[in-house]
Amino acid sequence: MSKIERVEVFVASPGRTFVTLRITTTDGVTGLGDATLNGRELAVASYLRDHVAPLLTGRDPARIEDLWQYLYKGAYWRRGPVTMTAIAAVDTALWDIKGKTAGLPVYQLLGGRSRDGVLVYSHASGTDVPSLLDDVERYLELGYKAVRAQAAVPDVGGTYGVRKGKLYEPAAGELPDEQPWDTEAYLGFAPTYLEAVRERFGFGFHLLHDVHHRLTPIEAARFGKSVEACRLFWMEDPTPAENQEAFRLIRQHTTTPIAVGEVFNSIWDVQHLITEQLIDYVRTTVVHAGGITHLRRIFDLAALYHVRTGSHGATDLSPVSMAAAVHLDIAVPNFGIQEHMGHPDEAREVFRTGVTFADGMLHPSDEPGLGVEYDAKAAERFPYQRRYLPVARRLDGSVHDW
């Protein structure tokens, strides 16, 4: 019987920082998992190396469910982003191994295709309305059928969500970028540029917008009401979701669909939001919500309450995680949409992925497993660099409570 023989953890920064887990069996089969937790990458790497890897050697890699329960319940301390990201990496790697052993792509092990492709959206942004409109046009010309739109608020120093380079990457610098934020200015400006997008391009594509948790519940309700004529696919993270009853107030005032969940990491974090139908899309991810095994549970719960999937897919999810997401997306019945931001050129030197983009959709590889390879030698050329997400401060200098 095949056993887990070696567990390796790689930390590298090919364009951005990724933590990658590689499990090798006594039969020589390898599986990859993404263990990236933006801004806390080394905590997960240590968790895996120091606490998880010693527990895996000699165990049966085919017992995916058993190993998930063992790592989750056996640690006594449950949940939390570091623990669930580490478990996710192991779980994803084991699914990769199982697919390779069976000679099947992972989506076939999950029940096969429920659709021909995975609808994705990407991020258009601008420093002002004209540059935003030009960027939306660029994505539509690339074939996207869904686009997220963000523009910098005038006279507010830095607005989170606006791309500064070739790819949108908010994590930068040895210390967090401290950005000013003005809620009233945002509430007055954002609806105008979303209306401008619809006026120029019409309603023949899905339009999305991310609020980044920066509004109170009543402010979010006001915003959702003000953009109803734009027919948004969703407004994302309208308010911090720790107080989940707050979403009931938003529901009472607007029919704009709500998406939330990328900062959550377990089914218990989103249980109330789903069962009370306070959201329309759940954005939990493979890498931060316990892997394919646990995310499937979240999606199955969501399906019972007419909540669709809309998983986070920023550049801090490595090609391993993105491949796993697409395999799951194409199989689940209540799929909604998948975020897709692409990866920098350097990342493509380290990761080879069989996921392809065509006609506004992603398509999984038909290779056995996830269809991803990791070049550890190439990764050595990109040593770890510490990077953080920005911190928002109100104009009075206090840290924003989003």
**Would you please indicate which residues are annotated as catalytic (active-site) residues?**
160, 212
Dist. CA 138–CA 272, nearest whole Å: 39
C-beta of residue 232 within 8 angstroms of C-beta of residue 208: yes
Dist. CA 151–CA 247, nearest whole Å: 25
Choose among 183, 203, 182: nearest CA to 194: 203
Give the dihedral sign, CA 321/326/329/330.
negative
Question: How is residue 385 annotated by DSSP?
Answer: -
Which residues does 39 contact at the CB level (< 8 Å), separation at least 6? 171, 387, 388, 389
Beta strand 351-353 with 372-374 is antiparallel
**Conformational region of residue 181, where left means phi above 0, alpha means psi within -120 to 50, and beta covers everything else:** beta
Give the dihedral sign, CA 357/37/236/175.
negative
Choose among 46, 34, 108: nearest CA to 374: 34
Structure tokens at 58: 């000699």
Beta bridge partners of 263: none
Beta bridge partners of 125: 150
